[in-house]
Structure 1
Amino acid sequence: MSERAIVVVSAGLSTPSSTRMLADRLAAATARTTPVQARTVELREHAKDIANHFVTGFPGPELEEVLDAVRRADGLIAVTPIFQASYSGLFKSFFDVLDQDALAGKPVVIGATGGSARHSLALEHAMRPMFAYLHALVAPTSVYAASEDWATGGGSALPERIDRAADEFAALLEQRPATQATDPFEDPVPFEQLLAQRQG
C-alpha cells in the first residue's frame, strides 16, 4: 500500500485547542492503520485571507497553497468546534472558498468538539450534509468530543470511536486510486492544432 497524502483541517480558535487535539488523534489513528503523510491546517491562521477572498474573489498566496493541498490530497480529516448547534463560521467559510468539485469522490472523516454532548447531532444534521453536497465520500462514523471526554482522559467511548472512524477512513483511502497531481500547462495543445480547430 503506497503512502497517501491527507490534509487535516482544524477550525479550533485557541491554543491549545480541543479541536486540534481531536484532529491530531484522528490523524494518528489513521496512520496506525495505513501509510499516510498528513499535513495539518489551522484555519485560524488563514482567517484574514479567507475573509479577503470573499471580498476580492482571489486567495492570497498562503491560502491558495492550502486550497491546492486540499485539491491534491487523497483524503481529508475535518474537525470543527460547534457554535450555536452547527459548525463554526470559519470552518464553513473555508469550504465556501474551496472549488466546488475539489472534494468530489474524496474520502473524508468528520469530527467536532463542544461543551456538551447534546451538540453531537450537529455532525449529522450540519456537517455530513455539507460534505455530501460537495460529493465527498464521508466515513460512516463521525466523532464528537465533549468537554467531559477530555476531563476523563477520553473516557472509554471516545478512543474506540476515533479508532473506528479512522479504520473506515483508511479503508476508503485504500479503495481509491492515489491522486495524481496534474498541471494544466504541462501538456498544452499545440497552437497549430487550436488554429486548425477554429478554422474547421
Structure 2
Amino acid sequence: MRLVVVSAGLSVPSSTRLLGDRLAAAVVGLSPVDVDVEVVELRELAVEIAHHFTNGFPGRRLGEALAAVAGADGLVVVTPVFSASYSGLFKSFFDVLDEGVLDGKPVLVAATGGSARHSLVLEHAMRPLFAYLRAVVVPTGVYAASEDWGAEGLDARIARAAGELVALTGVGAAAAAPVADSGFEVVPFEERLAALRAG
C-alpha cells in the first residue's frame, strides 16, 4: 500500500507535520499489509508551485510530488488553519493537480490550529474541497489544537481516522481474499430473491 502524507506546515519543527506523522504511523500500525509512506512537505515546494501557476509547468520536485499523489493508494492531508480555513499553500498545491487525479482516492483530512474554535475547518473547508475533487473523504477528520497535544482523546481520534482510511483503501479486503476460496459462496441478491420466489 502506498500512502502519501501532504503537509502544509511552515515552521520547523511543525505541529502540522507531527500530526501527519502520527496519522501515518497509525495507518502503518493498523494496515494488514506493508505500507510505503512518502511525505510531501509543501513549504519546500512553494516556489515551484508559484512558478507552475505562471508558466504551466511543474519543476522537478513538484512533478515528483504530483506523481506521488497520483500513484498513492491513500492520502493523509494536513494543513495549519489560516483565517479560519486551509492555508493558501495547501490549496495551491491541490489547484495544480491534473483533473481527475483524486477521483475515488481515499483521503484523510486533518488540521492544526491554536484554538479549538477552528475545528470546523475540517467540515466547512477541507471536506467540501476534496468532495469537489471527487476524492473519498474518510468519515473522521482530525483536528489538533494547541491544548490537544498530550491530552486525552487525540490518540483515539487518530486511530479511528486511520482505521477508516485503511478500510477505504481495500487492503483489509485484499488480505482477507483467501477466505473466498474456502467454500464460501457469494450469491447476488437478485438471484437469491428469484430463488425464494420460485420456491
TM surpasses 0.5:
yes
In 2, distance between residues paired with 1:72 and 1:141? 23
In 1, distance between residues paired with 2:155 and 2:84? 23
Aligned to 1:16: 13
5+ residue gaps, structure 1, are 179-200
Which of 3, 7, 27 does residue 4 from structure 2 map onto?
A: 7
Aligned to 1:158: 154
Stretches of 4+ aligned residues off by more than 6 angstroms: none
Where 2:13 maps in the other structure, the secondary structure is coil
Instruction: Please give the residue correspondences for 1:141-180 in structure 2 after superposition, counting only pairs within 5 Å.
Output: 141-150=140-149, 153=150, 155-174=151-170
AA matched with 2:152: S
Aligned to 1:91: 90
Q: Following TM superposition, by how much is the alpha carbon of 1:65 offset from its aligned partner in structure 2, in angstroms?
A: 1.0
Q: Deviations over 1:56-81 (max 9, x none)?
A: 01101111111011111111000000
Instruction: Please give the residue correspondences for 1:115-194 in structure 2 after superposition, counting only pairs within 5 Å.
Output: 115-150=114-149, 153=150, 155-174=151-170
| Contact map agreement 2:166 2:172 (CA 8 A) in 1 | no
Instruction: Please give the residue correspondences for 1:13-92 in structure 2 after superposition, counting only pairs within 5 Å.
Output: 13-34=10-31, 35-92=34-91
AA matched with 2:96: V
Where 1:100 maps in the other structure, the secondary structure is coil
AA matched with 2:85: S
AA matched with 2:75: L
Q: Deviations over 1:89-132 (max 9, x none)?
A: 00000000011211100010000000000000011000000000
**Seq. identity, %:** 65
| Contact map agreement 2:107 2:137 (CA 8 A) in 1 | yes
Where 1:98 maps in the other structure, the secondary structure is coil
Aligned to 1:194: none
AA matched with 2:148: D
Q: Following TM superposition, by how much is the alpha carbon of 1:26 offset from its aligned partner in structure 2, in angstroms?
A: 0.3
| Contact map agreement 2:7 2:77 (CA 8 A) in 1 | yes
How large is the Cα RMSD of the aligned pairs?
1.4
AA matched with 1:126: A
In 2, distance between residues paired with 1:109 and 1:143? 8
Q: Following TM superposition, by how much is the alpha carbon of 1:175 offset from its aligned partner in structure 2, in angstroms?
A: 5.8
In 2, distance between residues paired with 1:170 and 1:118? 29
| Count of paired positions | 172
5+ residue gaps, structure 2, are 175-199
